[in-house]
Amino acid sequence: MAWFNLLKANLKKEYLELKRYLPNTIAMILTFYIIFLGLFGVIQIVGDPTTQDANTQYVIVNYIFWFLTITIINSVGYEIINEAMRGTLEQLSMSPMGIWRIMSARLLSTTIINLVIVIALLYISMATAGQWLNIDVVTIVPIMLLTLFSMFGIGFIIAGISIILKQVQAFLQILQFILMALTFVPVSLSPVLQFLPFVKGVDMVREVMILGTSLSQFTMYDYLVLIINALFYLALGLWVFIYCERVAMRKGLLAHY
C-alpha cells in the first residue's frame, strides 16, 4: 500500500508539473517533432527514392525511442539536481521510504506520462510521413517492459552520479547524443551491440514495427539476451545509486549543493 501511495503521489506531481509549466511541455514536444520533420525532409530530398519508405519507417521508430530514452534516463538525474538546488534532498533521505524508492516512483511516473506523449508523437509522425507501422501491442508490450528495465538501470546510474557531483547538466546534454547513437544503431552492425543497455530491445521492437515480426518468430537466444540485459542493468543501476547515496551520506553531501 505504501508503494501504491508513493507512486500515486509522484504520478500526480509529475502531471501537475507538466500542466503548470505547459509552455515548456509544448516546446519540448514541438522540438522533437521538428527534429523528426528535419530527418524526414532529408530523406525526401537526398535519399534514394527506392528506399525512402523503409528509411522513413526506420527514422520514425528510432526517433520515438530516442525521445523515450532521453526523458526516462535523464529524468532522475534532473530530479536529484532539482532537489539539491531546493535544499530538499536531505529531507528525502530521511523519509521512511528512502531516496531510491522515491526516485523509483518518480521514474515510473515519468515513464507512464511520457509513454502517452510517445504514443501521440508516434501517430502524428506516421500521419505526417504517410507511413503506418505495425503496432502489434501483444508483441511490443512485453519487449518494451524489459527494455524499460535497462533504461531504468542507466537512469539510476546517472542519478547516483548526480547525488555526489550535483552539477552534471553538461554531461546530461552530451548523453543525449550517446542515447541517439544507441537507439539508431542496428544490432546487425556488430553482435557486441546487443549487450549494450536497451539496444537489443529497441532492435526487436524495430523488427516488430517495420518487418511485422511476431513473438513466436524471435528465437530463445533473443529473449535470453533481452532478459539478462534488462536484469543486469537494472541491478547495476540500483547498486550504483544506493552506493553513491551511502557515500553522499557519509561525506555529508546531501545537505549541501
Residue by residue, DSSP assigns 14-67 as HHHHHHHTHHHHHHHHHHHHHHHHHHHHHHHHHS-GGGHHHHHHHHHHHHHHHH
Look at the chain and report how many structural domains it folds into.
Answer: 1
Residue 229: the pLDDT is 94
Segments forming the whole domain that contains residue 34: 2-251
Residue 48: the pLDDT is 67
What is the enclosing helix (H) or strand (E) of 128?
helix 99-129
Distance, C-alpha 9 to centroid of its chain: 21
In a domain, 186, yes or no: yes
In a domain, 153, yes or no: yes
96: phi then psi, degrees, rounded to nearest 5: -60, -25
In a domain, 142, yes or no: yes
End-to-end CA distance of the chain: 33
Are residues 151 and 70 in contact, defined by beta-carbon separation less than 8 angstroms?
Answer: no
Q: Could you report the per-residue pLDDT of 94-109, keeping only the tens digit for each? A: 777 778 888 888 889 9
Q: Could you report the per-residue pLDDT of 198-256, keeping only the tens digit for each? A: 999 999 999 999 998 999 999 999 999 999 999 999 999 999 999 988 888 887 777 66
Residue 202: the pLDDT is 92
In a domain, 155, yes or no: yes
In a domain, 256, yes or no: no
In a domain, 257, yes or no: no
